[in-house]
Amino acid sequence: MNKWFKHPIAYFAIGVAIICGLAFLGAALPGFGNMPNGTKNMQIVVVDYDQSTGSKTMTKGLKDNLPFKVKRTDSKLASIKSQLTNRSAALAVVLPKNFIKDVKQQKTPHIKFYVNDSNGMLQNSLNRSIISQIETKIKDNLTSQKTTGMIASLIAPNVAKQVQVRAQKQARNITNPAQLAGMRKLMPKQIQLQVQKQASKMAQRLGGGLIAKTVHINKMPSSYKYQMAPMFLNLGTYLGVMIMTIILTMMFMSARFSMGKVKAYFAYQVTGILASIIVPFFTIGLLRALINFSGTTFWALVGTQMLFVFAAFEFSSIFTFLCGSIPSMIILLPLMAMQVVAGGGILPRVVLNNFYQNISKVTPMYQGITNSFNVLYGGSIDPYIQSLGWIAVVGIICSMLFAWIGYRQKHIGVFASIMQVN
């Protein structure tokens, strides 16, 4: 028993448990500190093809009453879809041509919502909530005093004409000049009352008569398995690669004594490349057994995951070579926890504070998760492929530099002795 408690590994194991707990609490929880206020950074695009005073009034009403960035535009639909696909806009609302004309003619107006389903869980949940809020706001706007006044101004000429025609018919039967003068004097008031009555009736009718349609770009199946698949695929792979990197660094630390530093580092990199090729076939193979996607998608996922594994391997190598394998967990675990928050699987990047947004740009997880969303459900992978490539290149340069500058001791250290290579 004494030998057990004298061994440093027993206390090191306790230390690892403490580090894990502190890492996830201290590094992940602050990432949610910007919520729910961070949602105000989400951009809603109102595509106004009507270009009328009434549609502009409604857009201003949305801008004043919704807790999001509301931008009015008359851009082509292809441009709007592109903004949704590249995630620069969260949602688009399309007001069609003749929207206010339909209001004037007492027809039920139509609007369309465009959403990109190829997003994280909170983004898709918020989109559903935003659509409901916008529908309510537009209905309220259509029945507001301002809109009633707008409708009144639109229908006033027709109502005035109708009242005048009726008055002329009545005037034919009146011979008293004083009575005729009194009727003419009351005519403007009658027109005003009639206009207000019809405008209020139309506005009330509109309050329950808005037809809204949601168009889904890059549609995702409704099951939450599909929603969470990209996150768990990349999170599990990243964790496995991180542990693999720590183990291989210990092998390098031992093998350099028997085969030389250059050969040991080369063997280290070759193992990383082999893992990049082999691992995705297992993970994507299981994923295909759990959710449905085509053979073309399978190979596209395998390709993107190969690059993700390699980038995660080289990224982790920076810290394992800097700290000497196992001690790197002090850095790697908090970094992984931060990437869980900043990876895009739960929260969209735009709602995060600047620190976590920057973390998402320089670490592999966001690029990997977003690539998986785009391959499975739709979207461009090019920007994220480039980011993963740069992360891998920087990782190779840094680990090579640390291996060359450091690891000059003549005797095998504690961590190198754990995994000896003779």
> How do residues 384-407 score in pLDDT, each as one tens digit?
999 999 999 999 999 999 999 987
CB 398 within 8 Å of CB 318: yes
Give me the pLDDT at residue 96, please. 86
**Could you tell me which residue, 421 or 311, shows the higher pLDDT?**
311
CA distance linking residue 19 with residue 327, whole number of Å = 11
Lowest mean pLDDT among 67-71, 117-121, 156-160, 311-315: 156-160
Q: CA end-to-end span of the chain, whole Å?
A: 31
**Could you tell me which residue, 403 or 421, shows the higher pLDDT?**
403
Beta bridge partners of 204: none
Q: Fold for 33-219, please state it.
A: abc type-2 transporter like fold (3.40.1710)
**Could you tell me which residue, 375 or 51, shows the higher pLDDT?**
375
Give 59's contacts (C-beta < 8 A, 6+ positions apart).
Answer: 46, 48, 70, 72, 95
CB 55 within 8 Å of CB 104: no
Give me the pLDDT at residue 361, please. 94
CB 421 within 8 Å of CB 254: yes
Q: CA neighbours within 13 Å on the CB side: how many for 315?
A: 28
Residue 269 confidence (pLDDT) above 60: yes
pTM (predicted TM-score) = 0.81
Q: CA neighbours within 13 Å on the CB side: how many for 96?
A: 15
Q: How far lies 310's CA from each of 83, 242, 279, in Å?
A: 30, 11, 10
**Could you tell me which residue, 209 or 90, shows the higher pLDDT?**
90
Q: Is residue 94 classed as helix, strand or coil in its secondary structure?
A: strand
CA distance linking residue 48 with residue 326, whole number of Å = 58
The residue ranges of every structural domain in the chain are: 33-219, 224-418
The DSSP call for residue 27 is I
The DSSP call for residue 143 is T
Residue 15 confidence (pLDDT) above 70: yes
> How do residues 271-304 score in pLDDT, each as one tens digit?
999 999 999 999 999 999 999 999 999 999 999 9
Structure tokens at 308: 């993700």
Structure tokens at 16: 């690892």
